[in-house]
Amino acid sequence: MAADHFVGWGRRLDQRQFAAALAGSSAVEFAVEDGTVVGFVTAISDGVLTAFIPWLEVLPAYQGRGIGDELLRHVTAALSHMYSIDLVCDANLVDYYRRHGMIALSGMGLRHPEVLAEPPRAP
């Protein structure tokens, strides 16, 4: 499944990395059509006040059908008891997330693309 997702990334995650990331997530929602996972969303959380959505992915052939909207609604509903639900997105997606009631925030981050080529680390 991971090989088909993460379009536009420098490298795609291998199955081991993907499985480890899902196992470490606080919430995971999948969109399945005809037995194929066509989209998913994950969240990580401290379990008390904050959550972060690192991934909302929909296969390109299935985009524009409301699948991402539904996944986002499900995960934000599941996390609605949290004070903050944050995510980071590219500039071209800001309006998409605004339509879902999110507000633009400032943020900073580090990226280590070489990690995508490494086997997942044990938690």
Q: Is CATH 3.40.50.2000 what the domain over 15-105 is classified as, yes or no? A: no
Confidence at residue 119, expressed as pLDDT on a 0 to 100 scale? 62
- DSSP secondary structure of 55-98: EEEE-GGGTTSSHHHHHHHHHHHHTTTSSEEEE---GGGHHHHH
The whole-model pTM stands at 0.84
Domain boundaries defined on the chain: 15-105
Confidence at residue 41, expressed as pLDDT on a 0 to 100 scale? 97
Chain-centre distance for alpha carbon 42 = 5
The answer to whether 71 and 100 have CB atoms below 8 angstroms apart is no
Residues 6 or more apart whose CB falls under 8 angstroms from that of 107 comprise 86, 88
Confidence at residue 60, expressed as pLDDT on a 0 to 100 scale? 92
List, run by run, the mean pLDDT of 10-residue segments along the chain (123 residues).
70 80 94 94 96 95 96 96 94 94 90 71 57
Confidence at residue 118, expressed as pLDDT on a 0 to 100 scale? 64
Confidence at residue 14, expressed as pLDDT on a 0 to 100 scale? 77
How do beta strands 36-45 and 27-33 pair?
antiparallel
DSSP-derived secondary structure letter, 16 = H
Confidence at residue 3, expressed as pLDDT on a 0 to 100 scale? 59
Confidence at residue 13, expressed as pLDDT on a 0 to 100 scale? 73
